Structure 1
């Protein structure tokens, strides 16, 4: 590096003043002044900083545990309903948020007041309230349910080394179809959200032989693929059918293998399954069970949203209606009214005449 100075105290390069520093023989620092527009912008930015710090609450005061509240600006003074009359009314982001929430609560208030005393079924029957709940329920579902059931109720696959040995399959059931472990009526869905669900299938590694587990797995696979009637007629899985009927399988899944909603046991005769439906995966489920306490057992737990105040009573009603309207909700069974015996009806008619 070389330093050369002219008579004015600076070097020149082609008539342009330089700092006098040269690198690599020809790399020099020019002393050009920034353009005027840039200097004006810099000055305006500095002035804006001073104005902002003066008018807005931007300067913390750690010693007092508070901050400078600012002088405020015309039109930004906020005196919210219900606030302390001595409040200075100066703008803060928190006050603006509170004001926006107050406006929102005023709009939602009439709807929310009605929901408190209504059952989920009554909400579903009210077209206006049902539409309101569907919109607000979408946010609740995304925040509380989407992580397991998927953002649109399509389920989510468990991946990664943590689940590789268990071949878990779905993290939580799909909510778009009409296949329900504990029932798909509006009241059943509401009860599931309120109290959570934790079904249990015992591990059969100590009660069935390895060959019996293989036989049952093939039989269950056949029922899922072709239905129970076809599987029963399939000689290739006859051994598994015998084990299924003679062991405790029918106690939970029923003689028809369609499951029992009171217990949350799965329907084995359709192609809808929570876990992987390969023979190897079915063997794993039979061997280690579900929520059985075995380290290799499959895990299927839905949390209790009542415990710890995770959701309010109204929020759980909203979620029940929202999930029901995914399209898989089931209507309540129509009560059967027994007709009066014909003889008795005839006698009554004759007496009336």
Structure 2
């Protein structure tokens, strides 16, 4: 645009004007900005020389420093392992019970196992051991196989898979209803003579004990407490289903599945010991 037609003569604008007064200026870039720009270009070149940067198919330039992310990670792991070594060496020669009795090692094991628990146990048992649908609570004092440090260690090492026989083919619907109501009444501290008689005549005591408190050697459930592993919202329906279809019953495709996997092939002996101490200290150890 010629100066005589430019409403802002001598302003060094491009002549592009909108709405009478919005215009595009043609000033040079500030020196400080250009210095920063060329400094960033030099920094980019230097970085590309020193560190891996430019992709080359499935690889990249290596950089003269030989730095890699995995190398830095391995160095960090080595530093952590060096700090832990004195504790890990002691734990290797001790039983879980001895570790639990040593305040210093017990504290170390608990702190170290928090990550192990999150990686291996939390998905089923909850972040705080509160359990999940169909999975046992680890923070109470109810233990199918016992809550001693030795029992917990064995559970983590070898896993557990109890069996509740499916009685749908051997009991009538009325008998299942009676027994289910009996277990609900037991958990609420109420008497049920018909259910108690059927409990004895059908041989339920053989697994759950004459007092219905379960047998740890078999991993059978305590029927007298208020802890329900499956479907606490409708206890009666849950009890009926379990009696009818069982737990891990091979002859019933509708059986409940309840398996604790073995971790002996996945975790080291030290990690298992630390996890046992951690679980024991969640609040339910004996």
1:116 to 84, 92, 113: 92
2:113 to 137, 152, 177: 137
Q: In 2, are the aligned partners of 1:215 and 1:240 still within 8 Å (CA)?
A: yes
The structure 1 segments of at least 4 consecutive aligned residues displaced by more than 6 Å after TM superposition are none
Q: For residue 130 of structure 2, what is the aligned residue in structure 1?
A: 154
Query: C-alpha separation between the residues in 2 aligned to 1:183 and 1:14?
Result: 91
1:291–1:14 distance in 2 versus 1, CA, 3 Å = farther
Q: For residue 288 of structure 1, what is the aligned residue in structure 2?
A: 245
Q: In 1, are the aligned partners of 2:208 and 2:214 still within 8 Å (CA)?
A: yes
Query: C-alpha separation between the residues in 2 aligned to 1:286 and 1:295?
Result: 14
Q: What per-residue deviation string (whole Å, max 9, x for no partner) do you get for residues 23-62 of structure 1?
A: xx99x98465685255444333322211111111223444
Q: Which has the larger radius of gyration?
A: 1
Q: For residue 268 of structure 1, what is the aligned residue in structure 2?
A: 223
Query: C-alpha separation between the residues in 1 aligned to 2:28 and 2:167?
Result: 82
1:242–1:60 distance in 2 versus 1, CA, 3 Å = same
Q: State the TM-score, normalizing by the size of structure 2.
A: 0.87
Q: What per-residue deviation string (whole Å, max 9, x for no partner) do you get for residues 304-324 of structure 1?
A: 112xx3111111111001111
1:142–1:30 distance in 2 versus 1, CA, 3 Å = same
Query: C-alpha separation between the residues in 1 aligned to 2:7 and 2:45?
Result: 40
Q: For residue 344 of structure 1, what is the aligned residue in structure 2?
A: none
1:242–1:67 distance in 2 versus 1, CA, 3 Å = same
Query: C-alpha separation between the residues in 1 aligned to 2:218 and 2:15?
Result: 87
Q: Does 1:186 align with 2:149?
A: yes
Q: In 2, are the aligned partners of 1:219 and 1:240 still within 8 Å (CA)?
A: yes
Query: C-alpha separation between the residues in 1 aligned to 2:285 and 2:260?
Result: 18
Q: In 1, are the aligned partners of 2:168 and 2:245 still within 8 Å (CA)?
A: yes
Alpha-carbon shift at residue 301 of structure 1 (Å): 1.1
Q: Does 1:310 align with 2:266?
A: yes
Q: Over the residues paired in the alignment, what is the CA RMSD in angstroms?
A: 2.5
Q: In 2, are the aligned partners of 1:134 and 1:322 still within 8 Å (CA)?
A: yes
Q: In 1, are the aligned partners of 2:134 and 2:231 still within 8 Å (CA)?
A: no
1:54 to 19, 43, 49: 49
Q: Equivalent residues in 2 for 1:68-217 (5 A)?
A: 68-72=61-65, 90-156=66-132, 170-217=133-180
Q: In 2, are the aligned partners of 1:149 and 1:171 still within 8 Å (CA)?
A: no
Q: Equivalent residues in 2 for 1:210-289 (5 A)?
A: 210-226=173-189, 230-231=190-191, 237-277=192-232, 278-289=235-246
1:54–1:245 distance in 2 versus 1, CA, 3 Å = same
Alpha-carbon shift at residue 193 of structure 1 (Å): 0.2
1:34–1:152 distance in 2 versus 1, CA, 3 Å = farther
1:100–1:186 distance in 2 versus 1, CA, 3 Å = same
1:213–1:99 distance in 2 versus 1, CA, 3 Å = same
Query: C-alpha separation between the residues in 1 aligned to 2:26 and 2:164?
Result: 81
Query: C-alpha separation between the residues in 1 aligned to 2:15 and 2:158?
Result: 78
Query: C-alpha separation between the residues in 2 aligned to 1:13 and 1:222?
Result: 95
Query: C-alpha separation between the residues in 1 aligned to 2:100 and 2:28?
Result: 68
With a CA cutoff of 8 Å and minimum separation of 6, indicate the structure with the bigger relative contact order: 2
Alpha-carbon shift at residue 68 of structure 1 (Å): 2.7
